[in-house]
Each structure stands twice: as structure tokens, then as C-alpha cells.
A and B are shown apart, each in its own frame.
Chain A
């Protein structure tokens, strides 16, 4: 063992301290970088030299740089962020819908609804008064406008959700490309070095995946080369260095569907912001929107039926107060067409009808909601099918995959408006001979406000409206609670990740001091070795 050995030991100490200082500085520099995992230098004893009588230490070597990282926590965090993304989207949209029905703030329908039927009371106590009739027409228009504004706000929320889905898809595609690129570089960097070597690239990829998890539901796994495969809706979004394009395609109902590699994956995407947007969109359409339309359709139907029976001051009868209900049809068929009309308003149940066919040439009409079979028979082109006062005529050749939807609700709010222009025609009287003082029909119309409506499960208009508000409120409440829960859970997981992988500045400051001292000591060692050598040379 020569004096030169001391130089070597000193050099190894200097080198190790320098590496440790570098790692520490990198940690300090990245203290606030999202996705960064703290790194640590792993030191090892250098292979000792054998001398007579034992072994002699030959200094220190850097065995590696370790990343403090727990893939289990990371996986949990990704999953939880997907839940959080969904909850946040739900909460945001539902609280918007809730504001639409916020009667406390003067929005919603309960006031205009009450004012409309109050106006009928006023007409009934002054059946010959034109002023009261004019007020009634105005209150009817105000009700229609309020209903339309409400529907518009709901549709705006749905449209905003669809727009955002489109934007998210672009961001997801960009992130998928980032992941693929990082995959490629990680595989290159780690080739021959073993797993977990390319710390900074991995940190970057984790950060991208963490961001991605808030947007879309996916699952990911890492292959033996270090590349991550990301699948959404059972299809590959990223596989190694390749990506498939996610796109938002507008479907027949005007909503955005997600397709990955050309396959519709919409039903499989439940979580992440985009999953939340899809499910809240469906939920709003199925509940708030349909109920509002049903309420309006029901008001139109009941008021018109009663109004038809009465007589106006000018003796007119059979007139509609509100613009009559119109059916909307949706055609999912290439070869056939449908027309539908209301033939008997008294029988209309305000159900939607789903017309389907089998390969044996039979048709089936199912009513929605409920899904009961309302009519069926052998299909003949052009021959009318009548169900509950609604007549469908389908012409052309049908196949077993063809489908038609007939809805009295879809246009109910859009067409909602006062049809009468002349206040004389307000049918307050029940008889053409007892004009103008007869108010029996006006009384019957005023009484509609308090009567249970069969099409609304026997509740009154205002009670049905309240049930809409209550559903919307309950959903919004539940989504807030879920969001709080998901937020807390995510914070808890983030804390656990931080606890393991986060940078503590105090700790790094201590390390800084420690490695500085050991660097100084190493340098001192070299100077001692130098002095020893000088001594020898001076002999």
C-alpha cells in the first residue's frame, strides 16, 4: 500500500461528496416541480485491498442514484385523480343546472306558473273584462319565455359539456404523444442499464400521466423495457412509441362520442373529467331536461283540452290557448321514413315511442320511459299505426336494425307559446249562449293548477315542478359531497406520495452541510497525502 493509495481514497471521497452535492442541489432545485421524486446517492465501500494481515479500505464508490418512488401509491393516485376529474365535472355542471332552477333567486318556473293560473282566476271573476284577458295572454307568454329560458340554460350546459369534451380530446392526444415520446427515450436511456435508471425521464412521464389521469379514465402498465402502455376503454391509447388518435365524433343526437382508433369507447369511459362530462350530460338530458319538457307538454295539453271546450267572447270555440303539441321524429333507418301526427289529444300520454323491427317483418312500438310494448304487428309500408292518439306512418323497406323514435316532448318547450292573439278568443265561457258573463270554463282552467295530472303521475303542475327542483338539488348536493370526498382522498394520497418522494428543504440543507463537510475532509486527506509525499521526497 503506497502513499498514492491515499490520494485515490481522497479522490473517491471527493468524487462521492460531489455527486451527493449534485443530487442534493438537483433536489433543492426541483423542490416545487410537480411529479418530481426525490433522489438519493447510494454510496458503497470500494473493494478493499488485500495486504499481509488483512484487508485495507480503498475508499468509497457511488453505487447508484436512487429515486424515492412507490409505484403502488402512484397507481392509486392515478386512479383517484380519475375519480376526482369525474366528480369535479359533475359538480360543475350540476351546480350550473341547479342555478337554473333557483327559485330563491327569482329564476325558475314556479313564479310564472303561479302568475299564469292567477290570471285565470282574474278572468273568472271578470269574465267580460278585456284587461284581465290581456293580462292572461301576457302571463301565458311570460310562462313560455321562462320555460324557454330554462331549457336554453340546460341545453347550454349540455353544449358546454360537449365543447369541453372536444377540447379535452385534443389535450389527451397531445399528452399521449408526450407519453409515447418519453417511452421511447426511456427505453433508449435504460437499455443495458436496467430498470429505473432514467429518473428524470420517468419523473416527467409520471407528471404527464398524472395530468392525463384527471382528464380521462385509463389504465396503464409498464413493460419489461420500461415503456408504459395506456389503454382507454379497452383500446390502446399509447403502446410503446406509438399512439392511437382519440377523437370526438358528433352522434345523431348532437352529442360528442369518443372514438379511439375508430371504435366508439364512450360507454367505457366513466371516470376522468371527460367521463364525468359524458355522464352528467346524459343525466341532465334524462332528468332535468326531459322532466321540464314533460311539464311544459302537460301544461300545453291540459290547458288546450280545456280551452278547446270553451267559448270566447266572439263565440269562437275549439281554439288552442298554447301552440299545439308537435311530434318530433328521429330516424335511424336508411331505407324507410316516418311521419307522425297527433290524432287525438285526449289520449296522448306524453310518452316517447321507440319503434323497432325484427327480421320477420314485424314492428314493435315500445313506450319510454318504462319500456312497455305499446303496439306490435306485421309491418306494411304506408299503413298507419295508432298508439294512444298518436298515428305513425312508416314508408319504405325496413331492416331489423332500423329504429325510429317519436317524441311529443322534444319540441315541447321550443314550440311553447301563446297561440291566441285576440283576447276576445280566451274561452272563459262554457256556453255560446251565456256570453259574456259565463265563467265556468275559466274556473275549470284556473282549477287545473290544483288538480292532479294523470300524465305527471297524478301530481299538480307545481308539485311536479318542485320534484324537478328537488331532484336537481339532491344531485347537486350529492355531487358536492362526492367531490369533497374525492378531493380529500386525493390530498391524502398526494401527502403519502409527498412523504416518500417529496423534497424537504430542511433535509436537503442538512445534506448540503454534511456533504460539504465530507468534501472538505476529502480535500484535507489529499493535502495530508501530499504532505506525506513531500516529507518522503525531502529525505
Chain B
């Protein structure tokens, strides 16, 4: 083949161009630390990386949701602990009041205590977590319990937080299930002095109480309540009046309230444990995904640096050899 000077120059420029392109690409990889700098570098790898990133982002969001749920449930947990303690104290008052051998001074003190506990319960029921009434179900913009009638104004709504792709967890306990219970069927019990007490379920969480005489027919006294605040309020009035049967009738009621509160707290505990597990699992998954993402898109620095060396060596060899070839000309030898 006949070789002309143009061919040599052309060959040289194209080889130089190619080498410089390689050099620029390796440098881009080193500069960004990524082996995929544009989609066409590695389409499959990029798809994988995008997929991992979507999952990591979603995982991050679920982690935030879990932390939010933990904060709200932790708040409910603390409130429910106070609730159980307060109910226990109220029950103590009721038991004392039921003994029936107390002077008016003592009764007044007991009544005061009961009023105190009622206020505590009202505050607990209307406690707010970041501007949101925590025990009002969905009606988080208004107090859960009315300050004068103590009636429950919320609903039974459960606010669900997504904690993974398929699962949600309620982040609240409505007051209707923590501060009240639903009597499944009418029950009765005997009181001291041969009297009887009948508890019958009313609408919602309302419980009707009838205190009957020894014949179990004559109704001596009736009252009703639909939540623990109302019950403690009635207890306070009964203590102030020295009403022994009412106090006595309320002892088992307060027990039921306490069980209900403990159950609610247990429920919160279970949810918190579930959140803890989910969080651990989530961070493990995220870690795995991050490693996978790094493997998919991060440049292996040692390898890239080696590659840079290789490209540089090739470039130098090209420059050296071409400077020698290009200086060869017959014209230099003619004179």
C-alpha cells in the first residue's frame, strides 16, 4: 500500500483524539466518583441504580413515618401510664369511701382528692401532642372531652401511618377505647348490707347502674356514666355526700376502667415493639440497598486510577512514536 503523509497525519490525529476521549472519560469517572455519568454509559446499571434509589428514598420516608409514629405512640404510652395510676388512686378512694365508717372531714378530703383526680384525668384526656388532641380519634382539632359535661366529643378514628409498602399502623388510641369501656352484657353484684347493684350497657360506652334494695327489686338509686372522667366525677359527689353504696358500686367499675387502660397501653406497647422491629428491618434493608447502589454506580477508584495510568501510557507512547515518524522526510536528506 502506498502511504502518503496525509495518511500518517490523519492516523495520528484520529488516534490522539481517541486517546484524549478515553482520558476525558476516565477523568470524569474519577472526578464524580461514579462509573455511570450519563445514561448511555451503562443503561442496565443505571436502571438498577435508579431502582435502588427509589427503594432507598421510599425506605427513608418509611423510616420518617416510623419515627413519627413512635413519637406519637410514645406520647400516648406516657399518658396511659398516668391514666392507669390515676384510676388506681381513684379506686383506692372508692374502696375507702365504701367502708362507710368515715367522719365528714375525712369524706371531704376524699372528695377533694377525687376532684383532683378527675381534673388530672380530664387533662390527660385532652392532652395535646403538637397541637393535636391525642385522644380525640379523627377530631384532633377539638378537646376529646368536654370540660363541663365530660362527654367524649371525639370519634373512634384510627390515624394510620404507612410503615412499609403494604402495612400501616395506627398512631393514636381514641379516647373511646382508652378512657371508656363497652359493657358486653348486663351484670349484677351484691353490695354490703344485702343490697344489689346492676350494670346494664347503654348506647356506645354508656353504662347504667342501678342500686337495688335487699329484695333486688326496689330501685334505690340510679346513675350512668360513659367514661372514666364521668365515673370519677360521680365518685367525688358520692364521697362528698357519704354515699356508701355508690362508692361501693364504683369500685368494680374503676377496676374495669383500669383493665381497659392497661389493655390500651399494652396495645401501644405492641405497636411500639412492632415499629422497633420494622425500623431495624428497614435500616438493614436500606444498608443493603445502599451497598448495592454503590456497587452499581460508584467507580472503583483503584481500578479507575489504574485505567488512567494505562490510558496515559498509551498516549505518551503515541506521542513519542509519532514525533519520531513525523520527523522522517526525504527532504531532510537532500541538499
**1/0 contact trace for B19-52 toward A, CB 8 Å?**
0000000000000101011111001001101110
Closest-CB distance, A456 to chain B (whole angstroms): 15
Q: Is the CB of B65 within 8 A of A104?
A: no
Tell me whether A253 is interfacial, beta carbon within 8 Å: no
Q: With A505-B5, A509-B330 known to touch, is A110 a contact of B53 (CB < 8 Å)? A: yes
CB pairs A–B below 8 angstroms (17 shown): A95-B38, A95-B40, A101-B39, A103-B46, A125-B69, A126-B130, A437-B138, A438-B157, A440-B160, A446-B162, A469-B47, A495-B11, A498-B10, A499-B1, A502-B5, A504-B3, A505-B331
When the two chains form the complex, which single residue of B50, B58, B132 contacts A128, counting CB atoms closer than 8 Å? B132
Closest-CB distance, B139 to chain A (whole angstroms): 6
**B52-78 at interface with A (beta carbon < 8 Å):** 53-54, 57-58, 61-62, 64-65, 68-69
Please choose the segment from A161-169, A412-420, A473-481 that sits at the chain B interface, where 4 or more of its residues have CB less than 8 A away. A473-481
Closest-CB distance, A525 to chain B (whole angstroms): 24
Size of the B side of the interface (Cβ < 8 Å), in residues, is 57
Q: Is the CB of A104 within 8 A of B38?
A: yes
Q: Is the CB of B38 within 8 A of A99?
A: yes
Q: Which residues of B contact A499 (CB under 8 A)?
A: 1-4, 7
Q: Is the CB of B155 within 8 A of A434?
A: yes
Q: Which secondary structure characterizes the binding site on chain A?
A: helix
Closest-CB distance, B191 to chain A (whole angstroms): 42
Q: Is the CB of B329 within 8 A of A502?
A: no
Q: Is the CB of B50 within 8 A of A495?
A: no
- Interface residue ranges, A against B (CB under 8 Å): 31-32, 95, 98-99, 101-105, 110, 114, 117-118, 121-122, 124-128, 429, 431, 434-440, 443, 446-447, 449-450, 462, 466, 469-470, 472-474, 476-477, 480, 491, 494-495, 498-500, 502-506, 509-510, 513
What's the Cα separation between A498 and B43 when bound, in Å?
39
Q: Which residues of A contact B132 (CB under 8 A)?
A: 126, 128, 437
Tell me whether B14 is interfacial, beta carbon within 8 Å: yes
When the two chains form the complex, which single residue of B57, B65, B68, B137 contacts A114, counting CB atoms closer than 8 Å? B57
Q: Is the CB of A494 within 8 A of B160?
A: no
When the two chains form the complex, which single residue of B131, B155, B161, B297 contacts A124, counting CB atoms closer than 8 Å? B161
Q: Is the CB of B4 within 8 A of A470?
A: no
Closest-CB distance, B1 to chain A (whole angstroms): 5
Q: Which residues of B contact A104 (CB under 8 A)?
A: 32, 34, 36-38, 46, 49, 297
- Interface residue ranges, B against A (CB under 8 Å): 1-7, 10-11, 14, 32, 34, 36-40, 43, 46-47, 49-51, 53-54, 57-58, 61-62, 64-65, 68-69, 130-132, 136-141, 155, 157, 159-162, 165, 168, 171-172, 297, 329-331, 334
Q: Is the CB of A477 within 8 A of B137?
A: no
Closest-CB distance, A450 to chain B (whole angstroms): 6
Q: Which residues of B contact A124 (CB under 8 A)?
A: 65, 160-162
Q: Is the CB of A102 within 8 A of B47?
A: no
Q: Which residues of B contact A32 (CB under 8 A)?
A: 6
Residue of A nearest to B53 (CB): A110
Q: Which residues of A contact B58 (CB under 8 A)?
A: 114, 449-450
Q: Which residues of A contact B11 (CB under 8 A)?
A: 495
What's the Cα separation between A97 and B3 when bound, in Å?
41
What's the Cα separation between A429 and B51 when bound, in Å?
31
- Contacts A105-B37, A473-B46, A510-B330 supplied; 16 other A-B pairs, CB < 8 Å: A124-B160, A124-B162, A125-B159, A126-B132, A437-B172, A443-B168, A469-B39, A469-B50, A476-B40, A477-B43, A480-B40, A495-B7, A498-B4, A504-B4, A506-B331, A509-B331
What's the Cα separation between A527 and B138 when bound, in Å?
124
Q: Is the CB of A98 within 8 A of B38?
A: yes
Residue of B nearest to A434 (CB): B138
Residue of A nearest to B46 (CB): A473
What's the Cα separation between A124 and B163 when bound, in Å?
11
The 3 closest A-B pairs by CB, nearest first: A473-B39, A437-B138, A502-B4
